[in-house]
A and B are shown apart, each in its own frame.
Chain A
Amino acid sequence: MAAKNKVRIKKFLLYLVLISGSAVFILPLVWMVRSALMDASQIFIVPPIWIPDPIRFGNFKTALDTVPFDRYFINTMIIVVGNVTGAVLTSAICGYSFARLRWRGRDFFFGLLMSGMMLPYAVTLIPTFLGWRTVVGPNTYLPLILPAWFGGGAFNVFLIRQFMRTIPKSMDEAALVDGAGYFQIFRHIIFPLSRSVVIVVALFQFLGVWNDFLGPLIYVNKESMYTLALGLQQFIGYYTAQWELLMAAATMILIPPILLFVTGQNYFIKGIVMSGLKG
C-alpha cells in the first residue's frame, strides 16, 4: 500500500512539474495573443485582465495600415522561395555526390566543408558584405538568395549525405546496368527516396530565412525592400507605447512558422535529432 502511494505521489509530482513548466513556456505566446486582441484601454489595467472583452480583431488591420506588412511579406517570400529552392536542389546534388559517387579528394573536400561549419559567421561577415557591395551594389536580395545555390550550406549537405548513405548500393548498381547516368540515378532513384530528409532541409531552411534578422539588416536599407523581420523591428522603434499593435504584428509574423511546425512536427524533430546524434 505504502509503495503504491509513493508511485502515485511521484506521478503526481511529475505531472505537476510538466504542466506548470509548459504553462511557463506557453505564457509569453498566450500573453502576446491576448494583448493583440485587446483594446488599448484594457491593456494597461492593473491587475491584468486575461480575456480581452471585447475581442478586437481590428488591431491586425490597424497594424497593417500603419506599416506595409503585406509588402514586407511579399519581399520575404521572394527571398524564401529563391533561397529554399536553391538550398534544396544544390544540397541534394552535393549530398548525393559526397554520399554515393567515388571521386578523388571526395573525403578531403567533405572534411573541408564540415570544418567550415565551426567557423564563426562574424569572421566572414565583413568581407562578404564588401564583396557583394562591389559586385552587385546595395539593395538587392542577391546576397540573401544566391549563396544558397552553392550547396545550400554545409549543414544541409551533411544531413543529406548522412541520409543517402543509408540507401542500399544495389539500387544504383541496377540502374547503372540498365544504362542510366549518374544524374538520372539521382533524379529518378535517390532523390525520390530521400524525400523525408529533403523535407527536413526545406523546413529548416525556410525557418532560417524567415527568421533571419542580421542578413536583411546588413544588405537591405531601402524601406520598400524590408523583410517582415526588419519591418517589425522598425515598428518597435516607432510605436513603443502601442502594445496592442506591436503584439498584433508579432502574432502575424509568427503564424507561418507555427503552421509549418504543426503540420510538419515529426520532420522537425527528426531533423534536430539527426543533427545532434550524428554530429
Chain B
Amino acid sequence: MAAPAILGFFIFTLGPLIASLFLSFTDYSITNDFRVIGFDNYRRLFTGEDNFFYKALFVTMYYVVLAVPVSLTAAFVMAMLLKNHVRGRMFFRAVFYLPSIVPVVATSTIFIWLLNPDIGLLNQILKFFHLPTSLWIYDEKTVIPTMALMNIWTTGGTMLIFLAGLESIPDQYYEAVEMDGGRMWHKLTAVTLPMMTPTIFFNLIMGIINGFQSFSEAYIMTEGGPNNASLFYVLYLYREAFTNQRMGAACAIAWVLFVIIMILSVIIFRSSRSWVYYEGEK
C-alpha cells in the first residue's frame, strides 16, 4: 500500500536527480540536438567564464549569512516572550504567525509598496522621526539586507517550533537554578539554551536549506536587480534554464548548489556533536 509513495520517489525524485546529473554534462537546450561535453559546463562556472555564477553565489551566501541568524534570533525572542503565561497569548501567537501564511506574491506586493522610496510607508515614518531614509530594494548596497529584514516577517513557523521546544523544558530545571540563587541570565545560559540546542539545530539546518533556495521574492520584487545585486542563486538558475534555454548548464548550476548544501549540512551535523545536547544521552 506504500506503492504510490515509493513509485513517486523513483519518478519524481531519484529519476530526475540522475537525469539532472547526466544533463549537466551535456549542452542540452530544448531546441537543438544535444551532445555530451564532459565537464565543460562546470568549467565555465568555476573559471568565471559565466560572469554571473560567482555573483549569484556571493549574493546568496550574503543573504543566508544575514537572514538566517537574524530570523532565528527574532523567532527565539518572540517565543521567549510568549513562553511566560501572558494574557492574550493566543492573540499574540496568531499575530506573529499570520504573515507566514500570506502567499509570497502578496507579501512581495505589499513590501514593494511599503518600501517605495518616495511614497512608501517606511520612509514616511523615518522622515517623520527625522531619520535618514533608504532606497531599500532599489539600491545595490541595501537590497540584500532589506530582504533579510523582510524575512523576519515570515518567521512565525520557526517561532512556533521554538515555543513548543521551550514549553517541553521541565519546570524543575528552572527551580533548581533558583535554589542555587541563579537569576534570569543563569536560567537562560544554564537551562534554556542547552535544552533548546536540538531545536535550534533543526531550525538552523532548515533555515540554511531554504535560504539558499530563495527565489520568488527576488523574482517578483527586483528581478535580480539593481545591477544583479539580488541575483539569488535559484533565480540565476531559472534564467539560465528558462530565459536562455541552456538546460544542461542549468543542471550543472543546480548540482553545484546541491553539493554546497550537502557540504554545509555535513559540517553542521559534525559540529552538532559538540554543541547539541540530547537528553538521555551520556
A contact set with B: CB distance below 8 Å:
14-15, 17-18, 21-22, 25-29, 31-32, 35, 44, 46-48, 90-91, 93-94, 96-98, 101, 103, 106, 109, 112-113, 116, 118-131, 133, 147, 149-152, 154, 157, 182-183, 186, 207, 210-211, 213-214, 217-218, 228-229, 232-233, 236, 243, 246-247, 249-250, 253-254, 257-258, 260-261, 265, 268-269, 272-273, 275-277, 279
Q: Is the CB of A31 within 8 A of B114?
A: yes
Known: A18-B92, A90-B4. A119 touches B258 (CB 8 A): yes
Q: Give the chain A neighbours of B108 by CB distance below 8 A.
A: 236
Residues B209 and A120 in contact, CB atoms below 8 Å apart: yes
Does residue B59 face the partner (Cβ distance < 8 Å to A)? no
Asked if A120 and B213 sit within 8 Å, CB to CB, the answer is: yes
- B13 → A minimal CB distance (Å): 4
The B interface, classified by DSSP as helix, strand, loop or mixed, is: helix
CA distance A113 to B271 in the complex (A): 25
Chain A residue nearest in CB terms to B109: A250
Partner of B124, one of A22, A46, A128: A46
Q: Per a CB cutoff under 8 Å, which of A106, A123, A147 touches B17?
A: A123
Contact B255 A123 (CB under 8 A): yes
Supply 17 A–B pairs (Cβ within 8 Å), ascending by A.
Answer: A31-B121, A48-B124, A93-B1, A97-B2, A109-B9, A119-B17, A120-B254, A122-B254, A130-B19, A186-B1, A210-B103, A213-B219, A217-B219, A236-B108, A253-B103, A254-B106, A265-B94
Residues in chain B near residue A236, CB distance under 8 A: 108-109, 112, 220
Tell me what chain A mostly uses at the interface: helix, strand, loop, or mixed.
helix
- Which of A150, A154, A258, A276 is in CB contact (< 8 Å) with B202? A276
Alpha-carbon distance between A47 and B129 when the two chains are bound, in angstroms: 12
Distance between Cα atoms of A218 and B247 in the complex (Å) = 13
With A48-B124, A254-B106 given, is the CB distance from A276 to B160 under 8 Å? Answer: yes
B111 within 8 A of A: yes
Chain A residues near B12 (CB, 8 Å)?
A: 124, 128, 147, 150
Query: Are B220 and A258 interface neighbours, CB within 8 A?
Result: no
B112 proximity list for chain A (CB < 8 A): 236
Nearest Cβ on chain B to A254's Cβ, whole angstroms? 5
Complex contact A93–B97 (CB within 8 A) = no
The answer to whether A261 and B101 touch (CB under 8 A), given A124-B17, A236-B220, is: yes
Q: How far is the CA of A106 from the CA of B124 in the complex (A)?
A: 59
In the complex, what residue of chain B is closest to A128 when comparing beta carbons?
B16
Docked-complex contact A276 and B165, CB < 8 angstroms: yes
B251 touches A258 (CB 8 A): no
Q: Complex formed: what's the CA distance from A34 to B212 in Å?
A: 34
Give 1 or 0 for each of B186-205: 1 = CB within 8 Å of chain A CB: 00000000000001001100
User: On chain B, which size bracket covers the interface?
Assistant: 35 or more
In the A-B complex, the 9 residue pairs with the closest CB atoms: A150-B8, A151-B5, A276-B161, A127-B19, A124-B16, A97-B2, A127-B16, A97-B1, A94-B5
CB contacts (< 8 Å) of A106 on chain B: these are 2
- Give residues of chain B (81-98) contacting chain A, Cβ–Cβ below 8 Å: 81-82, 84, 86, 91-98
The interface residues of chain A lying within 8 Å CB-to-CB of B164 are 273, 276-277
Determine which of B86, B96, B247 lies in contact with A15 in the assembled complex, contact meaning CB atoms within 8 Å. Answer: B86
Closest A residue to B5 by beta carbon equals A151
Residue among B109, B216, B237 with the most chain A CB within 10 A?
B109
Minimum CB distance partner of A231 in chain B:
B105
CB of B23 closer than 8 Å to a CB of A? yes
- Residues A94 and B20 in contact, CB atoms below 8 Å apart: no
Q: For B3, list chain A residues within 8 Å (CB).
A: 94
Interfacial residues of chain B within 232-251, with CB under 8 A of chain A in the complex: 233-234, 237, 241-242, 247, 250-251
